[in-house]
Each structure stands twice: as C-alpha cells, then as structure tokens.
Chains A and B, each alone.
Chain A
Amino acid sequence: MMLQILSPEGKVADQKQMPQVDDATLKELMRKMVYTRVWDQRAISLNRQGRLGFYAPVAGQEACMIGSQSALAKEDFILPSYRDIPQIVWHGLPLYQAFLYSRGHFHGGQIPEDVNVLMPQIIIAAQITQAMGVAMGFKLKKEKRVAITYIGDGGTSQGDFYEGLNFAGVYKVPAIFFVQNNRYAISTPFSKQTAAESVAAKAQAAGIKGVQIDGMDAIAVYETVREARERALAGEGPTLIEALTFRYGPHTMAGDDPTRYRAQEEMTEWEQKDPLVRFRSYLESKNLWSKEEEDKVIEQAKNEIAEAIKKADAQPKQKVTDLIDIMFEEKTPALQEQYDEYKQKEMK
C-alpha cells in the first residue's frame, strides 16, 4: 500500500493520516521546494551556457528531496547520489561549492566542518554500504543520529544495494535508505530492472522495514522519513523507503534525450502530479501561501544563484600541486618529487 497524504489536487485524503506538522515547517518546506525548482531551471540553463559542468536535473523530485531532508536534524549524516545535490545544499553545503562540484573543482568537495554530508556518489550503490557503516559508527558511539542515503530505481539492482541493506538489518543500525523510483534508469524502465512488484518489497530480503510512498507528496515524504528516523533513534533499526516520483528533465545534461524512451502521455500524466502544484494548493487552502510569497522566493533564489556563480567564478584555478597535496596526509617520495617538478612549472 502506497502511503499518500495529499491527493494530486492538494486535498487531505485521510485526516487520520495527516501528521501534526506546524505551519512554519510547512511553509519552509514549500519555500525550499520552490527555490529548488528555480535552481534546477537555472542550473540547466547555466549548463547550456557552459557555466556549469556535470548536472543531473531534479525537477519533479522536489518532494522526495526536500521532504526527506527537512525531516532530518543537523547532526544527521547524508550520503547523496549524483542527483541529490539539493539535500546536501539544504543541509549546509554552500551553493557555490555545489556549483564547483558540477564544474569539477576540488573545493566543491571540501564540505564545511559542521555540515554532515558526503560528496555526491558516482558509483551507484557505493553510498548504500557506506551509509550502513556511518550508521554503525553512530550506534557504536551511542550518538542520537541517523545516516540517510539516496539511490534511484536502477541502483536497486546493484549488489551493494542488497549488501548494505542486509548488513544494516543484521546490525540494526540507524540508517534510512531512500529510493527515488522515478521509473527510469537513463532509458531503462523499472520493469526491466526487476520482476519484483516494488522496491519496498526488497526490504524483505534483508529482514528490514520497507515502505512505499507517493514521492510527489511532500507531506507523505516528510512524515515517513520523520517516522523512520524516530524508529532508528529508538534502536529499532533501518528503514527502506521507496518514493514513487518522476524526473521531468533528462537523466543528465550530457546529451540524454528522454523523448527517445518516454511517451508524451507519460510526461503529461506525471506533470499533473507535480509536487509543487499539489503542495501549493494545499497550503493556499490553509491560507499559508500566496503568489507574493512565491515570487519573493523565486527572486531570492535567482539572486543567490547569481551570487553563487560569481563566487564559483572567483575560486582560484586548480594546480597540479594542489591535487598532489590532497592525496595523502604525508606525501610519498614519488609524489614529493612530482610536486617539486610541477611547482617549478607553476612558477614560470
């Protein structure tokens, strides 16, 4: 049974399921979702202008990304995949560093000391076993924190996905495995990943709790992650969350053309489930949101993005000696020799 709290029209389907979320949290959730949509649009455009590099669009997945991150505490640790930049930015990574990551600059990975996130993971499912390890660390240190990690539907076919869940179940670690099932891994539909009826069903193989939720419903996502976090902190172990969602854009900006593998009807169907539209109408019905407020967020996002790009532009270019410096705590003799060689070249 897929958990849905808000219907696509923004109505509360079942009042009994409606969680107690205060108005300020709801408004902040909306603010971050709108901001993220603007940022996605700007990122695509900046990528086309050559002012950003690697970029995996996020439009359509805002409820998943923002709803889940909003249910975390600052001390919780996020292990993102390559698409999950919004979560780590809302968790504290400065936007200009996210842009530097996109361009391929090491400063993009220099996470500030008080921000509990890892750099985006390119090897699909490596983050799953690492999250299990991070969560085990919390458990051993008896810290009240959880590790959350994200993966797509395609990633659930990887061995590391299963291994990580399985270990997490054995050790009962405080981890949340959040699968954003957007129905496609590049061009491959979910039906070609598995014959299983759902990702959530895969939790059974690891003996852990698995739930399926409407990933276009910000409140369902927020509430499910909040609950999974509570369970984890109470020592009840990990949760696998499958959120059904859709990406409106291409897989990445590196030449993927979704019209080759997705029908227009499918696009239209999912556009009607837009997480922003749904959440907006719900908040408007409660008089918590207005066009003015939304315009203000859009304006703020545009300004901050422009500032962040400027700041990224101002970052000094990388030198080979910088790259040698970050290899080891102490340089090996071979690296010292190469460092000296490149230092000479760089001084010319």
Chain B
Amino acid sequence: MAQMTMIQAITDALRTEMKADPNVLVFGEDVGVNGGVFRATDGLQKEFGEERVFDTPLAESAIGGMAVGLGLQGFRPVAEIQFFGFVFETFDAVASQAARMRYRSGGRYNSPIVFRAPFGGGVKTPELHADSLEGLFLQTPGVKVVIPSNPYDAKGLLISAIRDNDPVIFLEHMKLYRSFRGEVPEESYTVPLGKANVVKEGKDVTIVTYGAMVQTSLKAAEQIEKERNVSVEVIDLRTINPIDTETIIASVEKTNRVVVVQEAQKQAGVAAEVIAQINEKAILSLEAPVVRVTSPDTVFPFAAAEDVWLPDPSRVIEGMKKVLDF
C-alpha cells in the first residue's frame, strides 16, 4: 500500500495499464514531454516512448476523431481533453461517433476509448474550465461516465475504464487532485463500473452524491449528526452513467428520506434522473419528497463568486433538514 493523491493514483493506473497492454495509447494536448498540465501523465512518455504517449495539435475534435480511428484498428486510446469545458469542440466525436460505433455497425466495430478530462469548481479557474457537464453524457446512449471521489477509486475505476470495450468518459475533479492522500494498492486492481459505494452507513436519511460533493456531504453529515440525533447514509455514485439504481433503492427503503447533492446546476447533472428512478421504484418508501442540493441555474460563476455559488456543507444540511422535518 502507498499513500497517494488522486492525481498520483491516476498516473499509476495509466502506467499499470500501459504496462499490461501494448495497445493502450495516451495522447492529448501537452500530455507527452510536459506530463500533462496537472502532471497526470508525468513520466509516461519517458517510460513508454513517443509512439505510445504523444502530444497532439491543439484541436479537440481531431483528438476525438483520432481516438475513434485508432479504436477501429485495435488500439485502446486514452485521449485527454485538457478541460471538460472544451468537450463541445469534440462533442460529435464522443457523442455521435464513439458512442454509436458498436450500434451503427451492429457490433462489428467498437470504440474502446477512455476520454479523460479534469473539471470541477473551487479552484478559481478561468472561464469554461470547471463546468460540470456530466449530465450531457447521462443523456447520451452508448457511453459510460465515471467520476471518482478519492485516490483508491480513481485508480481502480480508471483501470476498469481502460479495459472496458465501450467508450468511457472519465471525469477528474480538479479540487480532488491533491487535496488529500489515500491508501492505494501498488498492484493492479479494478473497481467495477456502474457500482455505487456506500461511503458512510446511516439509517435516517440518504445522501446520493458524487465527485467533490462526496467530501462536502460527509462534512455535512458529521455536523448534523452532532447537532441532532440522526444518522446519515452517504452514497458515492462513482459512475453516473449507468446509475446504480439498486444501491440507491436499497438505501431509500431503509432510510425513507433522500437528498441528492451535486455540484452541477439544478437543471443539469444527474439529480433529476436519480429522483425519477426513486419515484418509479420506491415511492411508497418515501416519508418526504426527495430534495436536491445543487448549484443555481446560472452559467458557472466568475472565479471570485465560486464561494457563494457552489454547494457547501451548510446547504447540504439545509437540504437534510427539509426532508427530516417534512
């Protein structure tokens, strides 16, 4: 076991898979000699050579198209989009091409691609770096979307994502890159895609969340448990497409109260889908309507306004009080 930050765990996962499978290729803007703008690919080009880890011209759409082409030739591309706010440039390659390759060829071809991208607020980035756009890909048949919240999951999920024979969007929250260390096994291991993790057990209210909001929710849970005689269950979705409905429903049936917490705006993200699934499958277990804690429905804030815009533990507590006191 080693103590690693999430970014180190990601590099470790890439190295592990590159060693295990010669078809794994890593490319994107500044991922080669520079080792990535966040050092996620640090040392990989030196270790594996320029044919396996390489820089591209500055054009996200062609990065996506190249990944699709290489995928057709038996490679397993791990393509980096420098910030997920730039995904619109390559939306066609991801959503119309990679996502549909297996389907439109009736299974003849596939796109075993991982699109890695940082996102997430709280680090005062310039415009269009931090936006939570995962909801767009929850609505895209043919892709999986993974968002780890800690170093252990990041490594295991990324290895699973690279081994998956269908396209996976792997979103890395910038605030989590180096904010804490965690135990990460040095050997190869996987965390299954599509499986949520109950990070904290409880019996009175369930928080369903993902990404940086897992930490925020845990803080809120700790605080409300001190203030009131309640216990909070926190579910980290880990994969937001497909959503692990089974784990959510089991928790709802136990606690009967749910808050969905996301960093994305209310009209975006996954909260609405989680609520719809709970309504379909467990409405008779609910003691209160499911409440959403989200960002407001504006464009992502100017850097200096992040603090008042992003959900924090106090807003999560507010949400929990709404369902507990309903």
Q: For B166, list chain A residues within 8 Å (CB).
A: 328-329
- A132 lies within 8 A of B66 (CB): yes
| A133 touching B56, Cβ below 8 Å | no
Interface residues of B in 272-314 (CB under 8 A from A): none
Which residue of B is nearest A131, CB measured? B69
Q: B65 touches which one: A111, A113, A128, A138 (CB < 8 A)?
A: A128
Residues from chain A with a CB closer than 8 A to the CB of B68 are: 129-130, 133
Cα A113 to Cα B105 with chains together (Å): 12
Given contacts A137-B75, A328-B166, whether A123 and B92 have CB atoms under 8 Å apart is yes
**Most chain A CB neighbours (cut-off 10 Å) among B25, B59, B246:** B59
B103 touching A326 by the CB < 8 A rule? yes
A133 touches B72 (CB 8 A): yes
Residues in A289-348 with C-beta less than 8 Å from chain B: 323, 325-329, 332-335
Residues of A within 8 A of B104 (CB): 106, 109, 119
Residues in B whose Cβ lies below 8 Å from that of A136:
66, 69-70
Residues of B within 8 A of A138 (CB): 73
Interface string of B87-114 (1 = CB under 8 A from A): 0000011001100001111111110000
- Docked-complex contact B62 and A126, CB < 8 angstroms: no
Is A135 positioned at the interface, with any CB of B under 8 Å from its CB? Answer: yes
Question: Which of chain A's residues 79-138 have a Cβ closer than 8 Å to chain B?
Answer: 106-107, 109-111, 113, 118-119, 123, 126, 128-138
Q: Which A residues fall within an 8 A CB radius of B? A: 77, 106-107, 109-111, 113, 118-119, 123, 126, 128-138, 140-141, 147, 159-160, 163-164, 166-167, 170, 323, 325-329, 332-335
Q: Is A126 within 8 A of B96, CB to CB?
A: yes
Q: Are B75 and A130 in contact (CB under 8 A)?
A: no
A106 touches B106 (CB 8 A): yes
Interface size on B, residues (CB 8 A): 44
* A137, B70: Cβ atoms closer than 8 Å: yes
- Nearest residue in A to B62 (C-beta to C-beta)? A163
Are B73 and A109 in touch, CB under 8 angstroms?
A: no
Which of B72, B96, B106 interacts with A118 by CB under 8 Å? B72
Q: Is the CB of B142 within 8 A of A129?
A: no
Residue of B56, B75, B102, B107 most packed against chain A (CB within 10 A): B107
Q: What A residues does B106 contact at CB under 8 A?
A: 106-107, 109-110, 326
Cβ B61 vs Cβ A133 within 8 A: no
Task: Please list 13 pairs of residues, one from A and one from B, whose beta carbons are closer than 8 Å in the complex, sorted by A's number.
Answer: A126-B96, A130-B66, A130-B72, A131-B69, A132-B69, A133-B70, A133-B72, A138-B73, A140-B70, A147-B69, A326-B106, A329-B110, A329-B166
In the docked arrangement, what's the CA distance between A48 and B194, Å? 47
Nearest A residue to B97, CB-CB: A126
CB within 8 Å of A: which B21-78 residues: 25, 51, 56-57, 59, 61-62, 64-75
Least CB distance from A142 to B in Å reads 10
Contact of A134 among B59, B62, B72 (CB under 8 A): B72
**Which residues on B sit within 8 Å (CB–CB) of A163?**
57, 59, 61-62, 65
Contacts of B96 in A (CB 8 A): 123, 126
Flag if A126 contacts B165 (CB, 8 Å).
Answer: no
